[in-house]
Structure 1
């Protein structure tokens, strides 16, 4: 596979709740590619995105979008129809991985441990708790811990939750309810079919929500995580297995909770992110750096795999 130079269209921004994160990811990716001598066209996703891509005629598209519609299969389907190679996972994988319930249906039968949850209509939350407290409420298809609430006995939401209490139940018609897994927050990046490492996320206050992820100083990243070797190895195995079962391409990131009082039985996969952030605070670039791979090399590796997969498909179709 040629190292280029390539013409890369970097898709970023868009209308999702994670727009600012995507713009930061896209800028980092575009700057890195330009620093390596590649031609870059930066495209902020809007209704004219197909026309802009057609005019640009790139060799490959770097999908730096986060959330809907860039991570749920919508953009992937458009790029497939246009015949443009693109980074990260394809249409089917994106549809499944963005949906936390579909992800469970795909992974749990293969032995991947995930919290047992259920979809609840938000209107029912005002009548009573769907699970014993503490429990977690989260949107089924949002990323970056958007709209997540932990309902505890001492929470100020009320018991049952009050209609005027501020929370995700005011924004979504239904939510996924899961038991709260106490313990430690960890994450594993996967590139190709190899785990990049295990990072522990220690939040200074509250939990690992959107602000904690993207505000400097609110969360300490410990990479590599200071955990027993068998726990780290098991998380790596589960992350690689989930990556393969879902059909992920390029880079994915699997998020875990670990109840350290229960050893290997305390590991639970929460979700698989098919398009991890590429901002200065993001976890995958940090794990790559711990393995001796700088940011620009990481970006090039992701683009290179997308081009290689495209060439392989073309050869099969000939």
Structure 2
């Protein structure tokens, strides 16, 4: 097939997207596909034309555009298949304040949180105790996220988010091991336990710098925790109306698992979590790419 590999974009996660696209391009070529790389930031006006000239579109975008559902909506409009979730599910997962409401409606436990738009009063204080994580409502990769330990640190943390052009989500800063669990099709993949080697949480450097974090897969946790991670990840996937694949992040507290967020276009760099989890399930990187395309073609009514 002729595959349009879409990467780049103009979000703050552009570099991560381009990095992952390098090995995706190699995998697609290894699978026998004719690959056309399309940087959405440089060629957005020609996106529909480029997609219409291809048989399948492989999206490797992070943040907005990409995880916001915009490219997916355009592709649906012209009838071109792609991997992963459609426009609605993509946007609901990207918007943390929206996804947390759907988690609650589905009975899924998430840390206490507050939403603060950019024009909110600057003297706002959450009604749950410190510490707090302050993060962009639509952001990812832990960019512009701050761990706030004292109330006087809150204004600077909020300003960091607002200056990036986003609204803020303030989340209860719970302690415990960080875990992630991916869904592929209708199956939960082996979960991963994450131990950053520096810093207080799984920040940008821990995620993308080689050897900056221990990522143990399958996670060395009790069988009951492994079962719960898979079950909750599948439930979150369903609650948000997602397709194909996703990856949900958790904190394991003394009172149990707390669901943080769900990613619809997980990272695909050499250090990313989804490929590592897939390997533990017996799937090479090429196998993973082939499976994602198979799911996308099945979901959108076109087969090779």
Q: Same fold (TM over 0.5)?
A: yes
Q: CA deviation at 1:78?
A: 1.2
Extract unaligned runs of 5+ from structure 2. none
Match of 2:61 among 50, 59, 65: 65
- Residue number in structure 2 paired with 1:240: 234
Match of 2:3, SS?
A: strand
Q: Is the 8 A contact 1:125 1:160 kept in 2?
A: no
Match status 1:288 vs 2:278: yes
Q: Is the 8 A contact 1:129 1:160 kept in 2?
A: no
Match status 1:99 vs 2:95: yes
Match status 1:272 vs 2:268: no
Distance in 2 separating the partners of 1:221 and 1:129: 35
Distance in 1 separating the partners of 2:288 and 2:222: 28
Match of 2:187 among 179, 194, 203: 194
Distance in 2 separating the partners of 1:27 and 1:69: 19
The CA deviation string for residues 64-109 of structure 1, in whole angstroms up to 9 with x for no partner, is 1111011101111111112211111001101111101110121211
Match of 1:303 among 293, 297, 304: 293
Query: Which residues in structure 2 correspond to 1:127-276 (within 5 Å)?
Result: 127=123, 129-130=125-126, 131-153=128-150, 159=152, 161=154, 167-172=160-165, 174-206=167-199, 207-259=201-253, 261-262=254-255, 266-276=256-266
Check 1:123–1:72 CA distance in 2 against 1; reply closer, same or farther (3 A cut): closer
Aligned residue pairs, count = 300
Check 1:119–1:21 CA distance in 2 against 1; reply closer, same or farther (3 A cut): same
The CA deviation string for residues 163-185 of structure 1, in whole angstroms up to 9 with x for no partner, is 59984354346311111111010
* Structure of greater Rg: 1
Cα RMSD over matched residues?
Answer: 2.2
Distance in 2 separating the partners of 1:193 and 1:164: 38
Q: CA deviation at 1:124?
A: 6.5
Match of 1:197, SS?
A: coil
Distance in 1 separating the partners of 2:166 and 2:43: 30
Distance in 1 separating the partners of 2:238 and 2:166: 32
Check 1:300–1:120 CA distance in 2 against 1; reply closer, same or farther (3 A cut): same
- Residue number in structure 2 paired with 1:3: none
Q: Which moved more, 1:69-78 or 1:53-62?
A: 53-62
The CA deviation string for residues 212-257 of structure 1, in whole angstroms up to 9 with x for no partner, is 1111121110111111110111011000111122121122000001
- Residue number in structure 2 paired with 1:23: 18
